[in-house]
Amino acid sequence: MASPYTPPVQLLIDELGRLPGIGPRSAQRLALHIIKSDEHDVTRLAQALVDAKQRVKFCTVCFNLTDSDLCNICSDTKRNSSIVCVVEDSRDVVALERTGEFRGRYHVLLGLLDPLQGVNPEHLKVRELLTRIKPEEISEVVVCTSNNTEGDITAMYLARLLSPVGVEVSRLASGLPVGGDIEFADEVTLGRAFGNRQRMEA
Amino acid sequence: MASPYTPPVQLLIDELGRLPGIGPRSAQRLALHIIKSDEHDVTRLAQALVDAKQRVKFCTVCFNLTDSDLCNICSDTKRNSSIVCVVEDSRDVVALERTGEFRGRYHVLLGLLDPLQGVNPEHLKVRELLTRIKPEEISEVVVCTSNNTEGDITAMYLARLLSPVGVEVSRLASGLPVGGDIEFADEVTLGRAFGNRQRMEA
């Protein structure tokens, strides 16, 4: 059966449906929204897509997103260069920056190890991390990967890789989220929070 | 605090976040996907957006989407012109066409009545429907609006509007979905399915 949509609409639905997390229904809804939108808004969205793709590159040092050679964090001389936070992608940089807790540097891996899916160290910016970590300049590497299987594997791999180099490797604490009720916590989280319990200062 | 993303990325996130159903997190995820994509793919998506907006218009008869004056259904002379199916938007035309049950014409309202949100008949293609419905040419109007409050209001409004014109107005049956278990049906659906029960031929 021929597509029931007129060709330019079907083409747009197909293109939108290739984006991650956009299923066939969302793609239809978005396409109809585009058709109903102001032409100026559509042109601006199309331009933003092309611009972002053409102008944005990865920082040559940490692989964060930037529109010049160095990202705004690597080029900020006021930040502490002796501590490096290793993250999966730029979203995590943004999330950590929002906490205001960290004033060091980042290293973006552009993914997490996932051997079952064939994602090995050579697919990530691991070699670049190793070249960058010099014990005379860097004292601590904080592995800020997600608290899931891929995050665990990546953290363990990096800890084994970096320990011989002579830097301290740490990882984000695992435990109850702030505001998290014990009765609603899953047993793995609760078990880990119990195992990692911290001495209180009286 | 300045945006932690480099400007072209933040701009793209903002533009994507204006689309319906795309929240801030989805917008970030999509933007990072775009940055990682092949430039050719991004250009194609941008072009599809602009093309769809520029080339697609509403059919001058039924307001379905088309890239010429008449949509492919209105220009198909083999279809039955005496029965018109009234729908909310082009997605419903596609859904009904997929059933293969209907070989008549459509009329797309481009919305549903929603008085609480200020959507009144003059915001929809209601006047155009009324002009189009001539009892000597059209015998039945099937109101195929969703089975919710706005769909109900629109269907009732159209039934009252069209009855004096002298055409039969019908509506999609309401009942248990095919494959639907009674025990999982909500009480409104089940009550309506009971009220609309149909005599079985032995």
Q: Which residues of A99-132 are buried (b: 16+ CB within 10 A; e: fewer)?
A: eeebebbbbbbbbbbeeeeebebeebbbebbeeb
Chain A CB contacts of B16 below 8 Å: 45, 48
Looking at residues B130-152, what average pLDDT do you find?
A: 91
The mean pLDDT value for A185-198 works out to 82
B188 vs A26, residue with greater confidence: A26
- Residue B2 pLDDT exceeds 60: no
Tokens at residue A51, please?
């611009």
| Tens digit of each residue's pLDDT (9 = 90 or more) over A22-51 | 999 999 999 999 998 999 999 999 999 999
**Higher pLDDT, residue A190 or B75:** B75
Tell me, what's the pLDDT at A100? Answer: 86
According to the model, what pLDDT value does residue A3 have? 67
Could A29 and B52 be called an inter-chain contact, meaning their C-beta atoms sit closer than 8 Å? no
A57 Cα to chain B: minimum distance (Å): 8
pLDDT tens digits, B106-137: 999 999 999 999 999 999 999 999 999 998 99
Q: What average pLDDT does chain B have?
A: 91
Q: Are A30 and B14 in contact (CB under 8 A)?
A: no
Phi, psi angle pair for A137, to nearest 5° = -110, -30
How far apart, in Å, do the first and last CA atoms of chain B sit?
74
Percent of chain A, pLDDT > 70? 98
Domains of chain B: 7-55 (1.10.8.420), 70-171 (3.40.1360.10)
Q: How confident is the model at residue A192 (pLDDT cuts 50, 70, 90)?
A: confident
% of chain B surpassing 90 pLDDT: 70
Residue A47 contacts B, CB cutoff 8 Å: yes
Summarised one tens digit per residue, pLDDT across range A71-81 is: 999 999 999 99
Of A64-73, A113-122, B180-189, which range is least confident?
A: B180-189
Q: How close B185 gets to chain A, by Cα (Å)?
A: 23
Q: Hey, is the C-beta of B103 within 8 angstroms of any chain A C-beta?
A: no
Alpha helices in chain A (DSSP H): 7-17, 24-36, 39-55, 90-99, 126-132, 149-162, 187-195
As a whole number, mean pLDDT of residues B97-106 equals 90
Across the interface, whether the CB atoms of A51 and B20 are under 8 A apart is answered no
Q: Which of A1, A3, A12, A68 to mutate to test the interface with B (most CBs of B within 10 A)?
A: A12
- The answer, yes or no, to whether residue A5 has pLDDT greater than 80, is yes
pLDDT at A173: 86
- Contact with chain A for residue B76, Cβ under 8 A: no
Instruction: Give chain A positions within 8 Å (CB) of B10.
Output: none
Q: Give residue A2's pLDDT band: very low, low, confident or very high (50, 70, 90).
A: low
CB contact under 8 A, A52 and B20: no
State what percent of residues in chain A have pLDDT above 90: 71
Q: Is the pLDDT of residue B186 over 90?
A: no
A42 and B53 in contact by Cβ < 8 A? yes
Rounded mean pLDDT of chain A? 91
Lowest mean pLDDT among A19-23, A99-103, B127-131: A99-103
d(CA B115, CA B42): 40
- The partner residue sitting opposite A55, judged by closest CB among B8, B45, B50, is B8
Of the candidates A12, A21, A98, the beta carbon closest to that of B49 is on A12
Question: What confidence category does residue B1 fall into, taking pLDDT thresholds of 50, 70 and 90?
Answer: very low
From CA B200, how far away is CA B202, in angstroms rounded?
Answer: 6
DSSP conformational letter for A100: T
Candidate from B29, B51, B89 with C-beta closest to A20: B29
The structure's pTM equals: 0.77
Distance CA A152, CA A158 (A): 10
Q: In the beta sheet, which residues pair with residue A108?
A: A87
What average pLDDT does this structure show over B25-39? Answer: 93
Pairing relationship of beta strands B65-66 and B57-58 according to DSSP bridges: antiparallel
In this complex, do B46 and A51 lie within 8 Å of one another by their Cβ atoms?
no
Which of these ranges, A29-38, B2-11, B16-25, has the smallest mean pLDDT? B2-11
Q: Can you give the pLDDT at residue B34?
A: 94
DSSP element (H, E) containing B30: helix B24-36
* B9/A89 touch (CB, cutoff 8 Å), yes or no: no
Q: A40-62 b/e with 16+ CB inside 10 Å = b?
A: eebbbbbbbbbbbbebbebbebb
Q: Per-residue pLDDT averaged across A128-146, rounded?
A: 92
> What stretch of H or E contains B86?
strand B83-87
- Is the pLDDT confidence value at A1 over 60? no
- Closest residue in B to A70 (Cα) is B6
Distance from CA of B123 to the nearest CA of A (A): 14
pLDDT band at residue A130 using 50, 70 and 90 as cut-offs: very high
Size of interface A-B (CB pairs under 8 A): 157
